[in-house]
Structures are given as C-alpha cells and as structure tokens.
Amino acid sequence: MSTPPATTTTDTSATAPRPKPDNHVIVIFGITGDLARRKILPGLYHLAVAGLMPEKYRVVGCARPSSKMTDEEFRVYAFNAVSEFASDKPSGKEWEDFAACLTAAIDPDDGPTGLSAVVGNAEAAIGGAVRRLYHLAIPPDAMHDVIRLLGAKGLNQNARVICEKPFGTDLASAQKLNGDLEQFFDESQIFRIDHFLGKESIDNILALRFANELFEPLWRRGHVRYVQIDVPETLSIEGRGAFYEETGAFRDMVVTHLFQVLGILAMEQPTSMAAKPLRNEVNKVFESLRILDPVTVLRGQYVGYLDEPGVAQDSDTETFIALRAWVDNSRWMGVPFYLRTGKCLAESRQIITIGLREPVMEIFPDQKDGNHPDADRLIIDFKDPGSIHADFLVKQPGPEMHLGQARMNFYYRDSFQEKNNLEAYERLLLEVMLGNQALFTRSDGIERLWEVAAPLLERPRPIEYYKKGSWGPPSVADVVAPHRWTLPE
C-alpha cells in the first residue's frame, strides 16, 4: 500500500545575493587528467555562465613538459571537455569570454611558459589585488613536489590550495602530507575536497535534523536500531587499474566519502553553520569512532578485475567493501552503522537508511507476526537531486485491523527548480574562492580516520569474489545481520 507523493509548497521569494569572490588566478595541476576534464573545467565554466565567478580571473592549466600545451591547445582541450561533460554547452560570447581567460603553463620550467611567469603575467593582466588558488588534481604521492615548488618560488602567498582525495594512503602518509603543507600554508588556506559534502542532498540532512523538531528527538540510540550508508556503483574501474591498485575501495570511497557522510549524520547540533563550529562537531564524531576490527570488514573483488589493464595478476585489491562501524558516545552507543560500496554492482545508488526501533507495546496482530520488517524507516537518497522517504505502518481499509506499509515521499525535483542547483564540484569550487571551509576536512579529522582504519590496512581479511551485476560477495548479508540491507528494494 502506498500513498500519493506528498505535495510541497515552496517559498520562492528572492534571497540575498551571494558575495562575489575576490579576483583570482586559478591554477589546475593535473590538467590532462580525468578529474580536470570531467569536473573542474566544466564546473568553472558553469560558474562563469551562472555569474558566480570573480569579476576578473584567469585559469591556468599546468602540465608536465611531456604533455605541454600552448594556450590555443588548452582552449581547444577545454572546449572539448566542456562540450562532453558540462550542463551548459560552450557557445557564443559566454564561451568566448571564458576561453579568453584560459592560459597554459609548464611545471617545472623557469622560462616564459613556466608557472611563475604565467601566474605573474595573469596577475598583471587582472591588476590590483589578486588571490591565487591551486587545485592539486594529482595523486597523493605527486603532491609533495608541487607543494615544495610553490613554497620555494614564493607562490604560496595570498593563496589557497585544494587537495584531492585520497588525502594520503594511511596515517603516516597523511601526516607527511600535512607536514609538507604546514611548512608553506596555514590550515586556513588548505581545502581537502570531498565532492560528497558538496551535494545539496547531504546539506539537506542538516536541515532535516536541525530545522525540524519532528526528527531531531528521534535521532539517537533510544529510537534508532541501525544506520546504513550504501553507495553501490555499476561502473568498473574504467581503465584506472594502476590508480586503483594503489587505493582500492576502502581508501577510495570509505575514508574519503562514506566516513564523511557518517560524520554529518552522527554529529551533534553545532552552534551555527559556520566552518569552525560545524567542523568541530564532525571531528567529535571521528574521535568517537571505534577502531576498526579487520575481522568484521568484508573485502570483495569482482570477477574479471585481474584482467583490467594495470592490475597485477595476483592482486588482492578490494573493489568492494562492507563494514560495521560504531560511534562510541552517549547519542549512538550500541547503534551499528553499516557501510557498503563497490564497483560492478547491480545498481548505482547513494542512500542512507535510518532504521527506527519497533514500539515497546505490540498491540496489533500484524506486528507480532513480524510481517513488516521494513516499516519504521527513514530513507534519504543523496544522489542529486535527492529525495527523502518515510516508511511506516497504517491500517488497511476494511473491517479487520490489518496493517499495511505506506510511504511518504519528498523529491527535490518536484519541489524546487533544478536550474538553481550547482553540481557538487561547482559548489565546492565556489566555496573555496569565497574562503568558506565548512564543507572541507580538517587535518586532525583526516588523521583520525586513518588511525581508525590502521588495523584494517595492516591486517586485511582475504578477498572474497563476486559476480559483476550482483550485490557483492554472498556473505554480505552477514555484515548487517540480524538486519538486512535496504538495497535491493
């Protein structure tokens, strides 16, 4: 039994305009990489079309000498990337104005096409006070040389730096990377980016909890049986075998994405939505996370992974991970947090399930028979544009008292104009230019997560294999027992 979709009235009154970012020179390291092509360049163009870029700016694509580009080649490369991946296709004056702000540089090079010279020329062309932004869209082990280069050339002044995930590969490497950054940048200049935290639907978790007295009293151990964070993917590693061999599903997804979502879900109410109080509360959750027991973590690998280019023939890298985490504080003590993610699974979804406890008094016959194990749930689909669903029991029509499961639904796309949306990467790039660190991880937070993960990285369980298009290894059900995964629905 289902209810019709809920009707939502939306306040469409105008809001105050956002502040404009300072004038910027934006330098993208790893310009020929997949991330720059799919996300960064299309994101910057969309911000430009939306009128959210600085009044004056330059975008510098920085490449190694082996893959150097001229300014014109960079503009063609950017045009092709935006054409393929942006929601706004490049055309007319909008593209001409954006393309005029693109210039190429070579790293390392001390000549006229080197980074120092190109940045200097860009700042002179803009004139006045100009802020520098460095986007390190490169692997963790390549960041050290770039950070030292920026410091040695004095390019770290009046600058911010974006560090891509994974931020290190274990506690020691994260500490070393933090140490390198701290030599040349203050923590207020460092933005460790996680695009999951830029999602509108993740922000809506905070609104759902803290703006509605209906939900906040339930958000605790006395009312919650379990929490699931489930992010299956149908995609394979897509030719990134060498990268995936160095990371695996746990480093690639759990430390950098799913643990961050867990922090947002489990945090206490901050005093405001400003960066310091918000990140303080998230970090308290990380401090309360129990150290992982490798025995309780299921590692899987899809059949066929060993045939992927760049993958070792005896690789035990996991393409699937499922685990049970615990937040040992007064709000969540005893409530399991189930996390699952993997490649080549049956569906691509991003959902959170809050499983509520059953009533103490079971006065209806249907309750006692256990006919409705999936009632009393709040399901948050955080794959943008996002949705929220509440499952509960109602009386079915008729003379007898028989219960039926009903669902109330909220869909972002039905209630708000999607044209107002910024894709997660676009929003985070804008927040960096504005200097807002609320949606970015602090150094102590990321180091704590690697500390929680250390036993698993040191003593991983053997791999279990699963078929492409499945929901993981057969033993995945054991991770959540006596509960069950919401997916497949």
pLDDT tens-digit profile of 238-261? Answer: 888 888 998 999 999 999 899 999
pLDDT of residue 11: 44
pLDDT of residue 368: 62
Gap between the Cα atoms of 37 and 404, Å rounded: 49
Domains defined for the chain, CATH in brackets: 24-193 (3.40.50.720), 197-480 (3.30.360.10)
Cis amide bond preceding 108, omega within 30: yes
Gap between the Cα atoms of 44 and 82, Å rounded: 9
Cβ-proximal residues to 71 (8 Å cutoff; 6+ apart), any chain: 102, 103, 104
Cβ-proximal residues to 15 (8 Å cutoff; 6+ apart), any chain: none
The pairing of strands 320-326 and 298-302 is antiparallel
pLDDT of residue 236: 95
pLDDT of residue 257: 94
CB 137 within 8 A of CB 105: no
Q: Give a three-class secondary structure readout of the chain.
A: CCCCCCCCCCCCCCCCCCCCCCCEEEEEECCCCHHHHHHHHHHHHHHHHCCCCCCCEEEEEEECHHHCCCHHHHHHHHHHHHHHHCCCCCCHHHHHHHHCCEEEEECCCCCCCEHHHHHHHHHHHHCCCCEEEEEECCCHHHHHHHHHHHHHCCCCCCEEEEECCCCCCCHHHHHHHHHHHHHHCCHHHEEECCHHHHCHHHHHHHHHHHCCCCCHHHCCCCCEEEEEEEEECCCCCCCCHHHHHHHHHHHHHHHHHHHHHHHHHHCCCCCCCCHHHHHHHHHHHHHHECCCCHHHCEEEEECCHHHCCCCCCCCCCCCEEEEEEEECCCCCCCCEEEEEEECCECCCCCEEEEEECCCCCCCCHHHHCCCCCCCCEEEEECCCCCEEEEEEEEECCCCCCCEEEEEEEEEHHHHCCHHHCCCHHHHHHHHHHHCCCCCCECHHHHHHHHHHHHHHHHCCCCCEEECCCECCCCCHHHHHCCCCCCCCC
Q: Which two tokens stand for residue 361?
A: 């008094």
pLDDT of residue 367: 62
pLDDT of residue 5: 43
Q: Which two tokens stand for residue 32?
A: 């020929």
pLDDT of residue 370: 59
Gap between the Cα atoms of 123 and 326, Å rounded: 49
Q: Which two tokens stand for residue 374?
A: 């999936």
Q: Which two tokens stand for residue 360?
A: 């103490």
pLDDT of residue 243: 85
Q: Which two tokens stand for residue 38?
A: 């799919």
pLDDT of residue 386: 86
Gap between the Cα atoms of 299 and 339, Å rounded: 12
Candidate list 257, 389, 402, 483, residue with the active-site label = 257
Q: Which residues of 369-387 are buried (b: 16+ CB within 10 A; e: fewer)?
A: eeebeebbbbbbbbebbbb
Check if 257 is active-site: yes
Query: Which amino acid belongs to residue 279?
Result: R
pLDDT of residue 14: 45
pLDDT of residue 394: 80
pTM: 0.89
Cβ-proximal residues to 174 (8 Å cutoff; 6+ apart), any chain: 167, 168, 446, 447, 450
Spans of the chain, pLDDT less than 70: 1-17, 360-361, 366-373, 415-420
CB 8 within 8 A of CB 414: yes
Gap between the Cα atoms of 199 and 383, Å rounded: 8
